[in-house]
Every structure is written in structure tokens, then in C-alpha cells.
């Protein structure tokens, strides 16, 4: 659900739409989705309900979508912060995209995503994500924090 | 005070557990009893029982979604709050609710 291939550093994007397109493209490339336009539509639909911008430069664009084949997390670190309606008014530089199939019976992965979301309330977790620049280290840290007892 | 609440969001993946945890933490920090039920992608989690509903002073609904089982709270004060506000400023939310209930019962 998360490996080094799902982690992208130094991404150049100038707005939210470019980020969502990047996510949709990568999801198809990585065989997470079989329909780029469909997934992009669902990500945008969710953003339309209310923005997934959080605080301290984080956002969590996500979708429970019929175009997602397997529960997956992508992480993107942008080169420069972009405008994204957030809870504290900051621009966004760190993006977790949470992709889940519409009909999902797989509780373990939903529990892990839920734990990841809760981790994003913690300063210690956010500080690590912001400062880590090694994909393997980052993956291991996130997975360790998502583990379900 | 005895506080119970329910969080729910459109996809039920992320904001639902975030709001529940944020409010629980803030409630405890402010010296209250609090239990938050999540109505998200995994169904109902940490479900509030009829007894807990009966014993509460008020109910926080952190959502603009349709909530299951509202009849549990018949006769109780219900406060609906935007879910992002609950994540962003949980202590302020609890304080404001408690104050409103205190003033109501004066």
C-alpha cells in the first residue's frame, strides 16, 4: 500500500490541479488505477465537498473511487508550496494522497489510513515528514506509525 | 461534563478519525468525559450505547453528513459543528459548547 515507488520528492507543481493530475497519472502508471480521468474526477469531486488542506503545509487529497483497484498511499513533496485552501491558511508542500476502492471490504488498510490521518494531528510526525528526504526511511517511518495493533 | 459525539465526512477515510481523536484529546485535556463515535468508511466505530447517550450532558455532531442513530439522543442538546473546525481548533470547540450548555442550564 506504500512503497518507495509511491514517494515523490522535488515535485514541480504550480497549483492543486497539477498535483491531482500527477497523482492520477502515477496511479495508472503504478497499476493502482485503470482510469486516469475517472480518478481525477473523483479526487476533484471530493475536493469540491470541502478542501482536503490541513495545517502546517499538509494536504490529503483522497477518493473512495470505483477507479481505484487497491488501497494505496502516495506521498509527494513539492519544491515550492502551492495555494490550497487549508485550515490554517498556509500553502501546501506535503501531500498524502489516499486512494481506496469504492467497494472495499478490506478493513486493515482502512484502519491504517485512519491511523495515518490521526498521525497528521501530531507535531512530531509532521516534523519528521517535513525533514526526511530519504524515500526508504520515510516509508518505514510512515508504515511503523500506521501499524494496527 | 459528560460529552458524546459523532464525526462523519464525505469519504469517511481521514477527517472522520481526525476529528474524533482531536475532540477526544481536547475534551480530556479540559477535564471532561468524552466519547466520540466515528461513522466512516468502516461503518460505526466506538459506537455510543443507549446508556452513554442517556448519561451525556450534550452531543457534538462534527459533520454536515447524514448521521445514523440520532434517536439515541432524543431530548439531549445537540450541537452541530463543521468537521474542519473540530480538527483545527478542538479545544475552542469544546470550550464553546460547554459554555453554551452551562448558560442554557443556568
CATH number at residue A16: 3.40.930.10
pLDDT at residue B12, as a whole number? 93
The pLDDT, as a whole number, for residue B104 is 86
Please tell me which of the candidates A55, A64, A116 has its beta carbon nearest to residue B41. Answer: A64
Report DSSP state, residue A33.
B
Give residue B106's pLDDT.
78
**How buried is B29 (Cβ within 10 angstroms: 0-12 exposed, 13-18 middle, 19+ buried)?**
exposed
Question: What is the tens place of the pLDDT at every residue in A74-116?
Answer: 999 999 999 999 999 999 999 999 999 998 777 899 999 999 9
Spatial distance between the Cα atoms of A101 and A114, rounded to a whole number of angstroms? 15
| B residues 39-78 lying closer than 8 A (beta carbon) to A | 40-42
Q: What is the pLDDT of residues A34-71, one digit of tens each?
A: 999 999 999 999 999 999 999 999 999 999 999 999 99
Which of B14, B16, B88 is the closest to A88 by Cβ? B88
Query: Closest Cα partner for B20 from B93, B96, B83, B95?
Result: B83
- Measured on CA atoms in the order B64, A49, A3, A139, is the torsion positive or negative? negative
| Count of domains for chain B | 1
Domain count, chain A: 1
Backbone angles phi, psi at B53, to 5 degrees: -65, -45
Whether A137 has a pLDDT exceeding 80, the answer reads yes
The complex scores an ipTM of: 0.94
In the prediction, which pLDDT does A16 show?
Answer: 98
Angle at which helix B15-29 crosses helix B90-104, to 10 degrees, equals 60
Q: Do B12 and A64 touch (CB under 8 A)?
A: yes
- Is-contact A39 A68, C-beta < 8 A? yes
**CATH code, domain with B84:** 3.40.50.2300
B31-87 confidence digits (pLDDT tens): 999 999 999 999 999 999 999 999 999 999 999 999 999 999 999 999 999 999 999
Nearest alpha carbon to residue B30 among B9, B6, B60: B60
Nearest of A109, A18, A16 to residue A68 by alpha carbon:
A109
Q: Which domain holds residue A42?
A: 4-146
pLDDT of residue A104: 74
Q: Which of A140, A115, A106, A120 is nearest to A60 (CA)?
A: A120
CB contact under 8 A, B11 and A63: yes
Cβ of B17 and A120 within 8 Å? no
Rounded Cα distance between B59 and A20, Å, is: 36
Structural domain for B89, as ranges? 2-104
How is residue B50 written as a grid cell?
Answer: 443507549
Within 8 A of B42 by CB-CB distance, chain A residues are: 107, 110-111, 114
Residues A31 and A20 sit within 8 Å (Cβ to Cβ): no
d(CA A90, CA A111): 28
As a whole number of Å, the end-to-end CA separation of chain B is: 15
Amino acid at each position: 500500500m506504500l512503497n518507495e515507488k509511491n514517494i515523490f520528492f522535488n515535485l514541480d507543481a504550480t497549483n492543486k490541479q497539477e498535483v491531482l493530475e500527477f497523482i492520477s497519472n502515477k496511479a495508472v502508471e503504478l497499476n493502482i488505477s485503470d482510469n486516469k480521468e475517472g480518478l481525477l474526477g473523483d479526487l476533484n469531486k471530493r475536493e469540491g465537498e470541502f478542501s482536503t488542506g490541513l495545517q502546517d503545509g499538509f494536504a490529503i487529497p483522497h477518493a473512495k473511487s470505483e477507479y481505484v483497484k487497491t488501497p494505496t498511499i502516495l506521498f509527494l513533496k513539492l519544491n515550492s508550496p502551492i495555494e490550497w485552501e487549508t485550515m490554517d491558511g498556509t500553502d501546501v508542500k506535503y501531500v498524502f494522497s489516499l486512494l481506496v476502492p469504492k467497494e472495499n471490504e478490506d478493513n486493515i488498510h482502512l484502519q491504517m489510513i485512519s491511523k495515518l490521518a490521526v498521525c497528521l494531528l501530531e507535531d512530531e510526525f509532521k516534523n519528521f515528514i517535513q525533514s526526511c528526504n530519504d524515500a526508504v526511511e520515510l516509508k518505514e517511518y510512515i508504515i511503523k506509525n500506521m501499524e494496527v495493533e | 461534563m459528560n460529552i458524546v459525539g459523532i464525526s462523519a465526512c464525505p469519504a469517511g477515510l481521514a477527517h472522520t478519525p481526525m476529528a474524533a481523536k482531536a475532540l477526544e484529546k481536547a475534551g480530556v485535556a479540559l477535564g471532561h468525559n468524552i466519547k466520540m463515535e466515528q461513522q466512516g468508511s468502516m461503518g460505526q466505530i466506538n459506537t455510543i450505547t443507549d446508556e452513554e447517550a442517556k448519561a451525556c450532558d450534550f452531543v457534538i455532531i462534527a459533520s454536515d453528513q447524514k448521521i445514523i442513530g440520532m434517536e439515541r439522543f432524543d431530548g439531549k442538546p445537540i450541537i452541530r459543528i463543521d468537521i474542519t473546525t473540530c480538527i483545527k481548533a478542538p479545544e475552542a470547540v469544546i470550550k464553546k459548547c460547554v459554555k453554551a450548555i452551562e448558560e442554557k442550564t443556568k
